[in-house]
Structure formats: C-alpha cells, structure tokens
Amino acid sequence: MSDLKLYQFPISHYCEKVRWALDLKGLHYQTQNLLPGFHIKVIRQFAKSSAVPLLKHGNQAIQGSAEILDYLDTIKVDTCYTPVDATLAREWESRLDSELGPATRVFAYYYLLDHPKILVPWLSTGLPFYSRWLFRLLFPKIAHVMRKKMRINAETAEASRVVLEHLLTEVAQIYRTEKYLAGDHFSRADITACSLLAPLFMPQEYGIHWGSTNSFPIEFKQWIDDHQSDLFVVATVYQKNRKVN
Ligand SMILES: N[C@@H](CCC(=O)N[C@@H](CS)C(=O)NCC(=O)O)C(=O)O
C-alpha cells in the first residue's frame, strides 16, 4: 500500500480529514505538500479541478475528501468509519463539507490574509526554505488571488460567521450528550466535523506549528475566546480519536 500519495496543503482542513482516515486505517502514505497557486499545474495533471486533497494510488487519482474516504474503505475494509447504515453519517458529512468547510475558511482567512507573518509559515509548512522564501515574496499577489477566488470580503465573512456559529453550536450540543455525531460509533461524520473545525482549536496532531493566539488579529482572537466552550467540546472528541501514525 506504500504507493499511496496524498497531494495536499498541510493547512487544509479537508486534507486533515483525509490524513485522519489514512492514519485510522493504518495505511502508509507519502505526502506531496503544495503551495496555494503553485498547486494548480500539479493537480491538473491528474484531474479537471485543481482542488486538494487528491490521492494517487498507482495510476488512479481520487479527488475530494468524501470520495477518498470511500476509496480507502474499498482498499482496507477493516477499521471502518462508514457505518453499515451510513445514511446519517453521510448526511452529516455532506452538510459539513459543503457548509462548515467553506464558512470556516472564509471567516478565518478574512482576518488572517492581512497577516503574512502568521499565514506564510502555516501555508508553506513542509516545503523547502526556498519555496517559503519565494512564497513570502509573492504573498501579497497570492493573497489577492485567494480573496478573489474564495470571494473573501466583509460581507461573506459575516455570512460565514453565522453559518460557522450555527454549526459549531449544533455539533457541540450533540457532543455534550452523545459520544458520536451519527449513532453509537465513531464515524466519518466525526472525522469531518472535528477536522473542519480543528484550525479553530489548533491541535498539535494536525502538524502545523500554530504559534500563540496572542499574535492573532484581535477580532479573530476574540471570536476564538468567545467560543472556547464549544470549541473545547469538539477538541476533546478530536483528541480522543485522532491517532497519528
Ligand atoms: N469538497 C472538497 C473541498 C476541497 C477544497 O475546498 N480544497 C481547497 C483547499 S481547502 C482547494 O484545494 N482550493 C484550491 C483550488 O480549488 O484550486 C473536499 O471535500 O475535498
């Protein structure tokens, strides 16, 4: 199985979702870390869209976190995160992937894109020093493209905040009374919720050197502080279940 290669941005929470699934199944894999902007040419060799995560297995290329989780189930059937009746787990996963993922991203980038000292080390994690240096140099242009591509502005940040808060509250509320999101067992719904929220509680297992929240822009730090109670509940589920190989 060592011919599995994950093309990723280490900072991407969808990539964390796939790393978690791979680790849970005990699959050995290589990573190809990419820089936003420079990734497009690489990914388009294998797929129409330029999005990561993309998993290569021999000649096959599987793109999209849910598709990759499905694929991993076919190559390693044990340590399954997909319940026999997967309806609820899949409903959660699809809702979180389409709503929570983009909302968290737009909300966080709205504050952080003006702070290259924080963001450049995160975005260039796992890359050689010369790539980091080049990325730092080009960052103003890259930030401009990211804002445009993800439509990041005050209005979308506000709309994203509403979606994020709604889903965070809903997920945390369930975890306060239930062990898991979809039924009696840990599932891909939990992997998805905890991964997509992880950049807000910044776990060590994620593989990013997050630094102190004291260096964060004040409004963003304030939001994290104000939502500490819900974030702590989700972080606890993450810590209990996230084992890194
Ligand atoms: N629904 C997709 C979302 C993937 C996604 O949004 N990837 C972002 C990074 S977090 C990306 O690659 N953006 C750059 C691009 O699309 O070229 C999944 O579950 O994998």
SS (H, E, C) 4-59: EEEEECCCCHHHHHHHHHHHHCCCCCEEEECCCCCHHHHHHCCCCCCCCCEEEECC
Q: What is the pLDDT of residues 43-65, one digit of tens each?
A: 999 999 999 999 999 999 999 99
Asked whether 109 lines ligand 1 (CB < 6 A), one says: no
Burial of 205 (0-12, 13-18, 19+ CB in 10 A): middle
pLDDT for res 2: 61
Asked whether 97 lines ligand 1 (CB < 6 A), one says: yes
Domains present along the chain, CATH in parentheses: 4-75 (3.40.30.10), 87-241 (1.20.1050)
Residue ranges, the chain, pLDDT below 70: 1-2
Q: What spacing in Å lies between the alpha carbon of 102 and ligand 1's midpoint?
A: 9
Asked whether 157 lines ligand 1 (CB < 6 A), one says: no
User: CA 90, 191, 96: angle at the middle one, nearest 5?
Assistant: 50
Asked whether 165 lines ligand 1 (CB < 6 A), one says: no
pLDDT for res 78: 86
pLDDT for res 1: 47
